[in-house]
Amino acid sequence: MMNEDPFDQKIRNSLNQHQSQPPADMWSRIMADMQEQRKSRRWIWMVPILSLTILITAAWLLGLFSYENSIDNIDHIHTEKSTIVQPSDETLVPATHGQLNESQQESNNNSDITLLSSEENDAEWIGQEGQAHNALLSADDKVVNNTQNQRAIQSKSAPNHLIGDDHLMTEVEQDHVNTRIDGHTTEQDRRDKPTRLRQDESSESGTDNRSDDLSNQRSNLNRHDNLSTELADDTKIAEVDADNRTKVPGKATNSYAWADIGAAPLLNTESPYLVELMPAPRNSTGFQYGHFVYDPCSVRGNSRKSRQHCYTLIRRSQNIFADLTVGSRYAAKSFLAKSDEALSLRSDRLNSETPLFGLIVNARAGIKWRNNIIGITGIQYAKVFERFHYYNPREERTTLNISIRDTIVDAQTGQIEYRYDTTYVTSVGERRVKHTNSITRINVPITIGYMWELDKLQLGIHGGILANLYFGQSGRVIDADGSVASLSGDHRRDIYKMNAGLGITGSAFIAYEIQRDLYFLVEPQFSYDLGSITQASYDLEQRYLSIGLNIGVRMKLTETYKNKKKLNH
């Protein structure tokens, strides 16, 4: 105050010397207040934690736990009409191994038969109006699943497979068995019809075990007899899948360019980083060509007038903050049929899939410049749950039941003969498949926006791109042929891309300062897929529009730097 009013000066001088005594109990009052504040502060922390807990719990209770998966089960088939039991058919089975020639093996490798392990709980037999697509083998059920088409094929030429309670019989062993079903199937027929075989590794190992067992039988008749008795009690299960299932296209990989989200935006215009070249030490065996030096100061100006200028990593006018939010969201999807033929698929999928809810977790950092512009980036984990509900009132299933009736062992040659009974059972009824589908994404949002800061309040909007890092899915969908396809597991139908690509996102936020530099954040947010998330070969284009509410905390990091002394000398 250069030209200070003398009146003001005299008042200041007289007041500066003035001292007044605080009340005697002031200290105890302050201490009591602080104790009170500590207690209330605990509750402040509880607000976001409690909110998060309620939100997550409610979402899970409403969505996931209210809906139990129901994979197709024989119990869901209400056998209403026909049960056809065919007369048993005796089959002679020579048990010698090692007589299989190469041509037989080739024919087995090309078999049309689909074998699935009984442990494959997720497997399903899927048939609609006589079409078979997948097959379920259940040792417990002791049935063979088949459809009319399958039966028709099998009645002519298809071989069957024998499956024990513990393992599946391989095609090697199977082919070696001169099995005749309904008096039509011959070994020659099987050779004439090239088939494709899919078989679990477990079944292969089962084959090896069986082979070993049979070899041992030759050398030990007592053991041989025991096994024979055991086998005689077994009911074997086989399944034939005659459907030419659509070949799964190769996984398309989409890659996208990534924006550099490094620390560059935090730095001032001139880089303070220098690379200083240094000779490598004589004894060094490494590759030390230099070292990285951080020098915040540099000399600016000319020879007459120069001054040293130093950088600060973050200017006072730049506020850095970090957010951690959790949210719930509703994800609506849109389908676009690529052709008229795909319209029915679009309709089927829309009718069978219902959005449930989604969860989203955001961990990100942002910067606010002096002009209130903000930039935010980080990592986002999003999971969307959907309900899949398939219902077919005219489901039809034909099962083939093969059981070993007799086992005869030739004591001289060591050969074993099996006699089989075959039974067909046709069930007609309704079928339901219920499943909770999920789509998981890990994204990197890069957004810019505007923020207003009031006393304890922050208001803002921001939007930008959402780049997908990971995209995964599980569950069931209706396929183009009306069957139910799995999105995960060994027999999944790859209809989605490996990467969802780019999307757009936007949100508005309100943040309230609950503690110094700690804000409670509420943020409505949306995101939308710019491109289809399905593969190019799939008949439909699919996109998601997600709308949700995030809550969490924001921490202002600038204060850490704010009180640092200026580096300017």
- Interface residues with another protein (CB under 8 A)? 1, 5-8, 10-12, 14-15, 17-18, 22-23, 26, 29-30, 33-34, 37, 516-517, 559-560, 562-565
Q: Tokens at residue 278, please?
A: 């240094």
What is the C-alpha separation between 380 and 360, in angstroms, rounded? Answer: 7
Supply the minimum distance, in Å, between the C-beta of residue 33 and another protein. 4
Q: Which is nearer to another protein, 37 or 105 (CB)?
A: 37
Quote the least distance from Cβ 34 to another protein, whole Å.
Answer: 6
Whichever of 33 and 192 has its CB closer to another protein, that residue is 33
Q: Tell me the one-letter amino acid at 159.
A: P
Q: Minimal CA–CA distance to 161: which of 242, 237, 243?
A: 237
Alpha-carbon distance 463 to 449, whole Å? 6
Identify whether the C-beta of residue 86 lies closer than 8 Å to the C-beta of residue 154.
no
The DSSP line for 170-184 is PHHHHHHS---STTT
Strand pairing partners for 373? 450
Shorter beta-carbon distance to another protein: residue 165 or 517: 517
Distance CA 261, CA 446 (A): 8
Strands 235-237 and 373-409: antiparallel
Least distance in angstroms from the C-beta of 284 to another protein: 41
Identity of the residue, 14 or 302, whose beta carbon is nearer to another protein in the bound complex = 14
Nearest distance, CB of residue 32 and another protein, angstroms: 9
Which residue's CB is nearer to another protein, number 8 or number 119? 8
CB of 29 to another protein, least distance (A): 5
Q: Which residue matches tokens 């995030």? A: 550
- List Cβ neighbours of 23 (8 Å cut-off, separation of 6 or more): none
Round the CA-based radius of gyration of the chain to a whole number and report it.
37
Report yes or no: 114 and 150 within 8 Å, Cβ to Cβ. Answer: no
Euclidean distance between CA atoms 384 and 230, whole angstroms:
50
Q: What torsion do the CA atoms of 249, 250, 253, 254 make, to the nearest 10 degrees?
A: -20
Instruction: State in angstroms the smallest separation of the CB of 22 from another protein.
Output: 6
Residue closer to another protein, measured from CB, 300 or 456: 456
Question: Closest approach of Cβ 370 to another protein, in Å?
Answer: 15
**261: nearest Cα among 167, 380, 355:** 380
CB of 8 to another protein, least distance (A): 5
- C-alpha distances in Å from residue 444, one per residue of 240, 264, 383, 467, 470: 47, 17, 14, 5, 10
Closest CA to 296 of 264, 269, 272: 272
CB nearer another protein, residue 19 or residue 219 = 19
Is 423 within 8 Å of 238 (Cβ atoms)? no
| Contact call for residues 497 and 542 (beta carbons, < 8 A) | no
Distance CA 538, CA 157 (A): 33
Between 41 and 394, CB nearer to another protein: 41
CB of 313 to another protein, least distance (A): 15
CB of 529 to another protein, least distance (A): 43
* CB closer to another protein out of 223 and 456: 456
Closer to another protein by Cβ: residue 37 or 298: 37
Q: How many whole angstroms separate alpha carbon 265 and alpha carbon 314?
A: 10
From the list 374, 323, 312, 369, the residue with the least C-alpha distance to 560 is: 312
Least Å distance between CB 2 and another protein? 12
Q: Least distance from C-beta 308 to another protein, angstroms? A: 22
**Minimum distance from CB of 262 to another protein (Å)?**
27
For another protein, the closer CB: 78 or 564: 564
* Residue 247, Cβ density class (10 Å: 0-12 exposed, 13-18 middle, ≥19 buried): exposed
Q: Is the separation of the CB atoms in 113 and 171 below 8 Å?
A: yes
Q: Of the two residues 1 and 411, which places its CB atom closer to another protein in the complex?
A: 1
Please provide residue 436's backbone torsions phi and psi, each rounded to the nearest 5 degrees: -100, 110
The DSSP symbol for 86 reads: P
Q: Of 8 and 341, which CB lies nearer to another protein in the complex structure? A: 8
Distance of CA 260 to the CA centre of its chain: 27
Minimum CB separation of residue 15 from another protein in Å reads: 6
Give the nearer residue to another protein in terms of CB position, either 25 or 75. 25
Phi/psi class of residue 533: alpha, beta or left (left: φ > 0; alpha: ψ in -120 to 50)? Answer: alpha
Tokens of 442: 């890990």
> What angle (nearest 5°) sits at the alpha carbon of residue 275, between those of residues 274 and 277?
140
